[in-house]
Structure 1
Amino acid sequence: NRKEKQIEGEVVQPDGDAGSSIEADASAPSEVVDAPTSGARAAVGEAPGESVDPPDEELGGDSSSSAENLADDTGKTATDPKGEVQESEDFARMIDESKVEDHSRDIKVGDKVSGVLIKIGTDSSFVDFGGRSEGVIKTSELRDEGQGGKGEIRFSEGDPIEAFVMEEGQEIVLSRFLRQEDRNADFLYQAYKSGIPVEGKINATNQWGLGVDIQGVRAFCPISQIETTFVDDTEAYRDQTFSFKITEFRNQGRNIVVSRRALLEAEKDKEADEVRSGIKVGAELAGKITRLEPFGAFVDLGGGIEGLIHVSELIHQRVEHPQEVVRQGQDVKAAVIRVKNLGNKRKERISLSLKALLKDPWEELSEQFRPGTVTKGKVDALEDFGAFVELAPNVRGMVHVSEMADKRVEHPREVVSVGEEVQVAVLELDRRRKRLRLSIKQVETLEDASNLKEFQRRQQKEKDEPSGGNALIDALKRAQLVD
């Protein structure tokens, strides 16, 4: 019957309106199944056009049950207090889970984060990297490398720092590199994928490179990956501890190749960016002479950045080779005079000058060597077109071959020789181009003219002197012995 089917979870859908299942029309010729009375489980009585009315209590109970089941069928569930409590708990749990998920999306193990060191403790320090909480890093990792965590602390509170996420959860654990206790094949693979530096000790050397012990895991560093420059003696690295970057991870960690050079170059690139930020025309930079060439001297400015001092920019006088002025390994201070393609490693050109920081002797030459002046100098070089004469320290002029003598001269050596002291006349002084044009053949002419001019000047001075300046002459004039 219908009640048994309802108990089993099936719904009996009556024909017509739902109300006809409860109140049957007594005059209807159809058969009606009466609800059982108390203690009865079967339908009773059939009569055409007649129905047996159920007791009120049974009708009330059945009607309530039927209405509830019909409400279930239409999706209108009755309110259950226990269901409301369960839904509230589920909703709260979903909120908590969403918070954890948000946090996990912020960072993950292996991520590299940048932050500020806000607290340095005895064992642990704290880094604010913009997350939901501060990161914890061992204070020993802030000390000088290679001293077993007992060196001086390299950082101060407030300093920027970069580290890697080692653990996440209630506490975020950071590390500047993988420590020995974390080294195993799985973690080294994670370090390989994320680029996290690892620390290793050199326990073997040969002509091809270094054997590195990473807490029981063997790795190999090729000789070309030890330094940024060529290494010819690997034995000097034995028993030392360095940081490395894993460049190859094969055969589940049985073949690991590491590189120290990669980390050094990364550090150098960072330093190079800082150096480039200060390079501009007019800036004064400190550096070291790395090599000398006939055309100039190369200067290391730091971070692998080199500048060139052209041979003409060493000093104010003429230089045949840079070794006359500077030497390899010498510390210098130079001014930036030109910059081209800054930041492009292949096309970057930085032109420097030493003489730009020296006092220019030509600033004082206008009065000392005016055109028409006759002076002495020493011949210090001979060329086919003329002779160079040094008039003062760092000041040289040129005597063209046509100004050597009144006769035709094929080569300056026909008239002068290197080291000879000669008299020259200044014909022209060009301060902008810093050139002095001299002459030997016009010395006598200009000297005579200079002497004549000086004689005339003195005569004029004597005429301008008051006559009372000589008592003897005044007396002779009064005696009419002289005009």
Structure 2
Amino acid sequence: METAAENEAGTQETMADYSRELEASFRKIGEGEIISGTVISVNEEEVILDLNYFAQGIIKAEDMSNDPKFNILEEVKIGSVIEATVIKTDDGAGNIQLSCKEAKDILSWDILKQYLNDEKEISVKVSEVVNSGVIAYAEGIRGFIPASQLSLSYVEDLEPWMNRQLTVKVITVDEEKKKLVLSAKAVEKQKAETEINHKISMLVPGTVLEGTVESLMPYGAFIALADGLSGLVHISQISSKRIKKPSEVLAVGDKVKVKVLGTNDHKISLSIKAVEEDSRPDEMEEKEAAEYSSNEEIGTSLGDLFKKLKL
């Protein structure tokens, strides 16, 4: 049985709900205003919204999105909250006519600008192939992805990219010119840089590696290493001899052994000179070898062996 306290609480809650509904029913909605509502019905022709108002909101299918691939039944769900612009306060049937497209034209550019500032990655689907690139919609706005921004590798044939889902970054937003440019290449580049930086961080200073001279500069030589890595041997670390330019002792394509000196700022510092110095015997070893060579007589006869035996 319900107690008096529970009954009182229920009555207060009902009164509060009624008060909110009454207040909402008296608020004024004007044309051009952006309002939000909850989807209560959706079919191929329209979406019906509960606006917490005495009238319902109606969005025609053609006013939902600028994207020609937009599917109202797949992308609009009951219970979803939608923002839309008021087109008419009375569509002739007592409903408020709304447009999602107009609201997105106002709100989406601000969202896209924020994506640009945050360098946020977003998912889009290629909907059209055009000259020198493809089209994909982001936040309901038509965006262009140039062929040069589709991948790190060169893209010649655009047709295979049709309907492909891509992760992109916003690289240009110009609301005044209605210009939106997206890039999948920027995402790939960042991913590749992260992988390379991880590999560099795993290198231990002092490790000796093999590499190939890939280019020569006045200040040193760049060495191609395994796993797509590359490091610099400064001119002072190329040879124990003093040289004026790297080409005096190195040529592009030479195979060399290098020692890792450091990996600061994701850059690999290498030394050829250090490997050469490590491979030389030290002064004590050279001295002992010299003494042994000058003082010891090395014989192979049986007599020489018996001379050194103490019986």
* Larger Rg, first or second structure (1 or 2): 1
TM-score (normalised: structure 1): 0.34
TM-score (normalised: structure 2): 0.49
- Structure showing greater relative contact order (alpha-carbon pairs closer than 8 Å, 6 or more residues apart): 2
